[in-house]
Every structure is written in structure tokens, then in C-alpha cells.
Amino acid sequence: RVGGRIQTDEVDGFRLDRGFQLYNPAYPEGARLLNLAALELQSFFPGAVLSTQDGPRWLVDPRRATRSSLRNARTPLGALGTLQTLRYLTGCAVTDPREVEQRPDMTTREAFAEAHIGKKPLQLLLQPFLSGVLADPDLDTSRRYTDLVLRSMARGTPAVPAMGMQAIPDQLAHGLRSRIFRGVRAEAVTTTRIETSAGAIDCDAVIVATDPSTAARLVPGVPEPTMRGLSTWYFSIEEDDLYGGKPVLVLASERRGPVTNTVVMSYAAPTYAPAGRHLVQATAVGVPDVEVNDVRRHLADLYGIPTGHWEPIGHYPIPYALPAARVPFTTRGQQDFDGIVVAGDHRDTPSIQGALVSGRRAARTVCRRLR
């Protein structure tokens, strides 16, 4: 299949993305290249539930939430913590991305400290939320990249395509006029030749658009970044009214188990589950050595109900989920390596947006060369 790390499996009527993945319609490159209407994006709730020792606490985006949601919201961050967090997020939302990329770089944790974000918003919201997004519980990620992520989150509501995340690369592949060879391994490349397990292909130019490890194997000089891991478990359930039946991301604000975040996918996208059932995802940072019953027990705490009857239907340990965006970070990594062009999220930002931008940059490089 096309898509690299973006793939969807169909299991007994469920759609299981390979790892918990979301698409943000605020991505500018996606708006240029994708037919978003054809993807039938299914949006999640504009906010989150923080699971604390005092019970669940709702946080909502006041610009997008309904009046009833706002009435039910009770921030555990405190007035000052809420103000500090909103000030930081607003600053990310209104700043031009080119300006964000030029900010003095430091770790995300250092940036939050510099902004005087207190212990409560850091521990209850920002750290658990960004742990799942960045696969970085220590918040060592470059603040430039984190600020770009927060900017996108503030400007768009994350969603999934009705047919699963696989629909995104499938749509891109469908628009190609070239033949796609599947199940063929690239063994070596030069500027005009690809040696594959099915034979050699001569060409005018080569773009290596693979995972970082494969790119480093095929192209001398390509740096191989540190990769961060995530693990996702999927469960089939009957309950249709968890947290009011809203597709809200639940954050493990006080770690009492392996799960970092969880959400009922089919509350947002009914096409992810067969009739009469619902699909829950639970994601942990890294690839922890835990049993599925440990995950179920933690989910019982996060949802406040017994979960022993929840049926596990998928587990995706992904040690190479996304490249680490370390300090100092640049969104315009080298792509031309002695005539071989390399594309991928490891050459831009570790995101769908970054992969699309890198692909466009690679295409322009080749087009200029062939004129």
C-alpha cells in the first residue's frame, strides 16, 4: 500500500489506523494539494477531558464549543494558569509561521518556563497532551516545532477521513498518471537508476521518499534522526454515551497507568465501527511492555466505568512513529544529496504538513533540473 506510516487496516468491520493519527484541516499544504471535501473529514470535539484525582474536568475551545459545553466546562488550571496558557496559545495562533521558525530556539519545556506557565497547566494539560502529539513526555522537542503544532491546533479542529487515514495517501496516489509498483524493494539508487528486487529502472531523476532509515541506507550523507515511539490499542465496545457520546480526547493528566490519551473514534467517525459497536483507541508513549489488561484497567479509571468486557481488536506498537524535532530545529532540511533528491517529514516538520511540503520542494527541485 502507499502511504508509508499512514495506513488503515479493516478488521471485522472496524477501521484501525496504524497508530492514533489525526489530520488538521488548518494545514496549509493540505488545503493546496488535497480534496478535503472528498475525504469527508469527521471532526473531534474542540477541547479535552482532563482525568484528575478530583474527577474528570472539561476544557473547551470557547470559539468552537456549544453553549451547553461551555456551561459544563470547569477548568482545573486555576484563573492564572488558564490565563497563562491562553496567552501562550493565542501567541502561537496569531503569529506568522515564518516568524515562528525564526524564534530563538530552546526546548519546549524551557519555552513554557520562560512564558511563566505554571505547574498546574503544565502537568494537567500541556505535558499529557503534547506527550501524545510529539511522543515526547520530557518536552525536549524544539519550541519552534511545538509552536507550529499549537498554531495548527488553535486554527483547526483535528479530524479523520471517513474511510480512515489511508484515504489521504490513496487520494494522492489516485491523482498520479504513473504506474505504482507495490511490494518491490529498492536496493540501491543513483541519480538516474534504481536497482530493485524486481529489476533495474532507468530514469531522468530520482526522489527517495521513504522513512528516514531507508533513506539513510540508500543515499550516502542523509542524516538519520532519532525516532520517537508510540503504541496504540483498539477496543470494540457497546457503550454509546461515554462523556455524553462526544468524541472528546481524554488525557491522563495524572499518570496512573500506561495510557497517555484515549478517545472513542466512532463517536466522531461512525464509519470506523460496524453498526451497534464503537471503537476506542488508547495510546501510550513509546513501546511499553504492558499487558492489555493493564490498559483496560487504566481505561476504566479514565472513563469511570468497568472495562473488563471491552474486546481488544488491535495493537500497534510503533517504535518509529515520528522523527524527533530537536534543538536547533529547521523546517527546511537539506534535500539534494549529490543529485539524489530526498523527501519526507524528516526533511521538514515531523507531520503530514511537513511530508507534503517536503514532497512539493522535492518536485520543484527535479522540475528545475529537467528544464
* pLDDT of 68 above 60: no
- The three-class DSSP label of residue 40 is coil
CATH numbers and ranges of domains, the chain:
181-226+326-370 (3.50.50.60)
Report the pLDDT averaged over residues 317-326. Answer: 97
Mean pLDDT of 92-115: 94
pLDDT tens-digit map of 134-172: 999 999 999 999 999 999 999 999 999 999 999 999 999
pLDDT band, residue 341 (cuts 50/70/90): very high
- Model confidence band, residue 70 (pLDDT cutoffs 50, 70, 90): very low
Average pLDDT of the residues in 233-249: 98
Q: Which residues pair with 9 in a beta bridge?
A: 16
Q: Does the N-terminal peptide bond of residue 328 adopt cis geometry, omega within 30 degrees of 0? A: yes
> Residues 203-230: what's their mean pLDDT?
96
The pLDDT score that the predictor gives to residue 83 is 83
Indicate the average pLDDT of the chain. Answer: 94
Supply 359's cell numbers. 514532497
Mean of pLDDT values over 7-20: 98
C-alpha cell at 144: 519552534
Residue 177 DSSP class: -
**For the chain, the helix, strand and coil percentages under 3-state DSSP, each to the nearest 5:** 35, 25, 40
0.85 exceeded by the pTM? yes
> What does the pLDDT average to over 186-193?
97
DSSP structure class, residue 310 = P
Q: What local confidence, expressed as pLDDT, does residue 168 receive?
A: 98
Summarize the confidence of residues 255-282 as an average pLDDT.
98
Give burial (CB, 10 Å; 0-12/13-18/19+) of 155.
middle
- What mean pLDDT comes out for the span 99-122? 94
Q: What is the average per-residue pLDDT within 58-65? A: 73
Distance in angstroms (rounded) separating the CA atoms of residues 9 and 281: 14
Average pLDDT over residues 170-175: 94
pLDDT at 105: 97
